[in-house]
Amino acid sequence: MKFQFVPELVKTDLEAVNQKEAITSLVTLLRKEGCVQDDYAGLVLEREQQYPTGLQTKGAAIAMPHAFDERIKDSHVAIGILKDAVSFHNMEDMEESLNVHIIFLLAVGQAHEQLEMLKILMGLFQEETMLQKMLATHSSQAICDMLNGYVQQQA
């Protein structure tokens, strides 16, 4: 099955005062879709402390929080476009903070066989204009249409 972005897992104008709130709210989306269990937010927050995932790309400052959880079956991503940026530590340098505007909350099932979603995301992180367009789009459906269009182009 081909990976597709779904509007149920995209939140535009996400309001959060900090990374904890943002992560919790995106995990709620994943939970509603049955992708993760209740305790996933805690696992992700804990891991984010130890191994931060903030990343400054050319298009936007992003973060891709995730945790290892063997109960996760398939790979999913919940996307949050923040109304106001929240702070994440930089993956490249833990002592540095980044004001993150887009969060890709990953739930990765056995990654070695499920590289497809990760490859798509890695390509997307390098698409400067696409990330900027995401910031200016306020509909989950419109974002999914744009991203799925991008996925098709790559295939």
Partner 1 sequence: MKKIVIACGAGLATSSMVKDKVEAILKQKGIAFQTMQCTLTEVDNYDGSVDLIITTMRVRKKYHSPVLSGSAYLSGVNEDEITAKMLEILQG
Contact residues for partner 1, defined by CB under 8 A? 47, 50-53, 55-58, 64, 66-68, 91-94, 106, 108, 111-112, 115, 118-119, 121-122, 125-126, 128
Residue number, 98 or 144, with CB nearest to partner 1:
98
Burial (CB < 10 A; 0-12, 13-18, 19+), residue 133, is middle
Residue number, 38 or 95, with CB nearest to partner 1:
95
Closest to 62 measured CA to CA, from 116, 109, 3, 130? 130
CB of 51 to partner 1, least distance (A): 3
Residue number, 107 or 143, with CB nearest to partner 1:
107
CB of 47 to partner 1, least distance (A): 7
For residue 147, the number of C-alpha atoms closer than 13 Å in the C-beta half-sphere is 29
Residue number, 10 or 108, with CB nearest to partner 1:
108
Closest to 139 measured CA to CA, from 8, 12, 6? 12
CB of 121 to partner 1, least distance (A): 7
CB of 112 to partner 1, least distance (A): 7
CB of 64 to partner 1, least distance (A): 7
Per-residue burial over 51-80, b if 16 or more Cβ lie within 10 Å, else e, is ebbbbeeebbbbbbbbbeeeebeebbbbbb
Burial (CB < 10 A; 0-12, 13-18, 19+), residue 92, is exposed
Residue number, 69 or 145, with CB nearest to partner 1:
69
